[in-house]
């Protein structure tokens, strides 16, 4: 205090710079098919992508994969396995390090449900050799590079 006048300190914090996030996407396999849905989110709108989302604090990759598939499709997954990781600079504001997990449905007769209709137009099984177009950019890059999510027998 000076001359009885209280100084007020500016409390504004500078905007934090954009940071990469961790994504987890799931190759849910059913015979020679994979589960894909048409995205309605701003990122990759109208492209076909795997179920998945962002890693939450304290989660394992497998826990995140299980949670996201359940939240988005209602499906319970089994036999989760780490496949690979990719670095995706998707736009000026979106940079995702994406971990890919392979899994199978616990019950192959259970039908996928569209539980987040604001994010996905609907889920369906697609033959790996006849994928729908356009694929979500990071997934298209993987397919173009020759990546194959199926176990080698």
Ligand X SMILES: Nc1nc2c([nH]c(=O)n2[C@H]2C[C@H](O)[C@@H](COP(=O)(O)OP(=O)(O)OP(=O)(O)O)O2)c(=O)[nH]1
Judged by the rule CB under 5 A, the positions of this chain that interact with Mg ion are 53
Say which entry of ligand X, Mg ion, none residue 98 contacts (CB below 5 to 8 A, set by partner kind): ligand X
State which residue, 10 or 42, has the beta carbon closest to ligand X. Answer: 42
Binding site for ligand X (CB under 6 A): 23, 25, 41, 43, 49-54, 88, 94, 96, 98, 119, 136, 138-139
Q: Radius of gyration (Cα) for the chain, nearest Å?
A: 20
Say which entry of Mg ion, ligand X, none residue 115 contacts (CB below 5 to 8 A, set by partner kind): none
CA–CA separation, 118 and 116 (whole Å): 5
Say which entry of Mg ion, ligand X, none residue 111 contacts (CB below 5 to 8 A, set by partner kind): none
| Contact partners, residue 95, CB within 8 Å, separation at least 6 | 18, 19, 20, 21, 88, 89
State which residue, 5 or 53, has the beta carbon closest to ligand X. Answer: 53
| Contact partners, residue 94, CB within 8 Å, separation at least 6 | 43
Q: How far is the CB of 30 from ligand X (least distance, A)?
A: 16
């Amino acid at each position: 205090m000076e001359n009885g006048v209280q100084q007020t300190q500016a409390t504004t914090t500078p905007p934090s710079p954009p940071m990469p996030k961790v994504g987890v996407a799931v190759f849910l396999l059913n015979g020679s098919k994979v589960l894909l849905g048409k995205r309605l989110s701003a990122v990759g709108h109208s492209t076909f992508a795997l179920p998945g989302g962002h890693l939450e604090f304290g989660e394992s990759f497998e826990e995140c994969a299980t949670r996201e598939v359940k939240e988005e499709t209602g499906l319970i997954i089994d036999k989760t396995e780490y496949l690979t990781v990719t670095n995706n600079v998707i736009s000026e504001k979106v940079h995702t390090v994406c971990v890919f997990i392979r899994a199978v449905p616990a019950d192959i007769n259970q039908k996928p449900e569209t539980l987040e209709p604001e994010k996905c137009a609907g889920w369906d099984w697609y033959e790996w050799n006849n994928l729908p177009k356009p694929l979500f950019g990071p997934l298209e890059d993987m397919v173009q590079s020759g990546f194959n999510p199926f176990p080698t027998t």
